């Protein structure tokens, strides 16, 4: 069988590449390649034959390393010319196009001798605007949208006279569902005190902290309840549901004899996780537990109420009840969401004594529920 050399012509059609990159969310990048197969006497190979051809992207004209390769089988020949599209099958064209490449071509599955020289992939004129230190989308340095001269101090600069930058918009529930948010992550919340929020590394914070002139105080009616805790910014904190939300019904803490370690958070801010864990782990059938009662309530249009932790319910007693606020029933016990062990959890008796602290009680005892929420 004759060795069939490749006459030195392999052209690259960039229109498909530019289109594919601009639609990266819908399809993979592709490269269209044409070449001519000739016999050793210079004649083109006959039509009708099919070949297996391997294409490799090399980082050097000679030697070097392969950044990507694909083998095409059953390549048909018409007038000696073959035409293939690389990256349109199972082999994704995932080489980083941030440097020149040279196209290596060989017959067979890639172990055979390559035809020389390797042609260099050339750039289409439009593609040149995507590269360079001062063009629209540079490969290094800073980036400009709407400007070819982004400011030297900016990694990204956008210029326009009739448009703005639109950040992701979502509800508070969607925001809170973001897994492991990065410190500094910024978004716009569309409900429950709408506005821009950023992640501090431990909690979501409203940017209103820096601009708002609103002064909030303990005891204010706000965010569907009565404020009993404020963060240092004075703009975020916790509210207790109003007395009108409290049923005279009493509830078991539930799941006596079953330890739920994930409900043992006692600090400010741990009530929500305690409640969620209790609802998930404690299935009491027809009996409604204190955590389930809290989880199901919708008060003043808000549905994200939960059972307070040990420290949170202590603050409710200190900052509201002892100040004559909140409408708590005197000498009545209320459940917290904090478990002690398999048989006991923490509760709070709302007395007139400022020295009163949460105490332990068996999970099988029925106590009242007063829910809280964060704002």
For 252-290, the pLDDT digits (tens) are: 999 999 999 999 999 999 999 999 999 999 988 889 999
Window from 130-134, 164-168, 204-208 with minimum mean pLDDT: 130-134
Say whether pLDDT at 2 is over 90.
no
Q: What is the pLDDT of residues 17-34, one digit of tens each?
A: 332 333 333 346 788 888
Confidence tier at 243 by pLDDT (50, 70, 90): very high
* 130 pLDDT tier (thresholds 50, 70, 90): low
Secondary-structure percent of the chain, ordered helix, strand, coil, rounded to 5: 15, 30, 55
CA atoms within 13 A on the CB side of 330: 5
Pairing mode, strands 102-107 and 251-252: unpaired
Residue with tokens 């569309």: 190
Q: In terms of DSSP H, where are the helices of 305-363?
A: 310-315
**Lowest-pLDDT range of 115-119, 235-239, 340-344:** 115-119
Give the pLDDT of residue 17. 32
pLDDT of residue 363: 97
Check whether 110 has a pLDDT greater than 70.
yes
- H/E element, 295: helix 290-296
Digit-coded pLDDT (tens) for 179-231? 999 999 999 999 877 889 999 888 898 887 665 556 889 999 999 999 999 98
**What pLDDT does residue 48 have?**
76
Once rounded to an integer, what is the mean pLDDT over residues 338-357?
A: 97
Beta carbons of 372 and 306 less than 8 angstroms apart: yes
Structure-model confidence comparison of residues 234 and 129, the more confident one: 234
Residue 42: the pLDDT is 80
Computed over every residue of the chain, the mean pLDDT equals 84
Separation between Cα atoms, residue 71 and residue 106, nearest integer Å: 9
Assess whether pLDDT exceeds 60 at residue 11.
Answer: no
The reply to whether the predicted model has a pTM over 0.75 is no
CB 194 within 8 A of CB 182: no
d(CA 85, CA 63): 25
Across residues 46-69, what is the average pLDDT?
Answer: 90
Measured between its terminal Cα atoms, the distance across the chain in Å is: 80
């Amino acid at each position: 069988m004759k060795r069939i050399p490749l006459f030195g012509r392999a052209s690259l059609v960039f229109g498909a590449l530019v289109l594919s990159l601009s639609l990266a969310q819908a399809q993979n990048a592709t490269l269209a390649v044409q070449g001519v197969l000739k016999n050793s006497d210079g004649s083109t190979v006959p039509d009708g034959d099919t070949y297996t051809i391997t294409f490799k992207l090399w980082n050097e004209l000679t030697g070097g390393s392969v950044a990507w390769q694909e083998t095409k089988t059953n390549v048909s020949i018409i007038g000696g010319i073959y035409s293939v599209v690389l990256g349109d099958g199972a082999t994704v064209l995932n080489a980083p196009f941030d440097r020149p490449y040279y196209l290596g071509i060989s017959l067979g599955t890639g172990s055979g001798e390559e035809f020389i020289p390797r042609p260099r992939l050339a750039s289409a004129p439009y593609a040149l605007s995507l590269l360079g230190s001062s063009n629209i989308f540079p490969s290094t340095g800073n980036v400009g949208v709407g400007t070819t001269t982004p400011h030297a101090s900016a990694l990204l600069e956008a210029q326009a006279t009739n448009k703005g930058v639109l950040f992701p918009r979502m509800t508070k529930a969607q925001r809170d569902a973001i897994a492991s948010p990065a410190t500094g992550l910024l978004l716009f919340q569309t409900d429950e005190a709408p506005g821009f929020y950023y992640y501090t590394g431990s909690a979501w914070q409203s940017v209103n902290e820096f601009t708002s002139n609103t002064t909030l105080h303990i005891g204010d009616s706000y965010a569907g309840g009565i404020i009993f805790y404020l963060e240092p910014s004075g703009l975020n904190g916790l509210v207790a549901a109003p007395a009108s939300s409290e049923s005279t019904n009493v509830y078991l803490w539930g799941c006596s004899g079953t330890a739920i370690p994930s409900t043992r958070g006692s600090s400010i801010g741990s009530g929500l996780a305690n409640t969620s864990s209790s609802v998930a782990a404690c299935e009491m059938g027809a009996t409604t537990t204190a955590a389930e009662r809290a989880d199901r309530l919708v008060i003043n249009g808000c549905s994200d109420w939960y059972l307070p932790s040990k420290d949170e319910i202590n603050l409710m007693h200190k900052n509201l009840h002892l100040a004559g606020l909140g409408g708590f029933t005197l000498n009545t016990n209320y459940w917290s969401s904090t478990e002690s062990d398999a048989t006991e959890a923490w509760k709070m008796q709302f007395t007139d004594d400022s020295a009163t602290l949460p105490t332990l009680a068996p999970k099988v005892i029925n106590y009242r529920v007063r829910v809280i929420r964060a704002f």
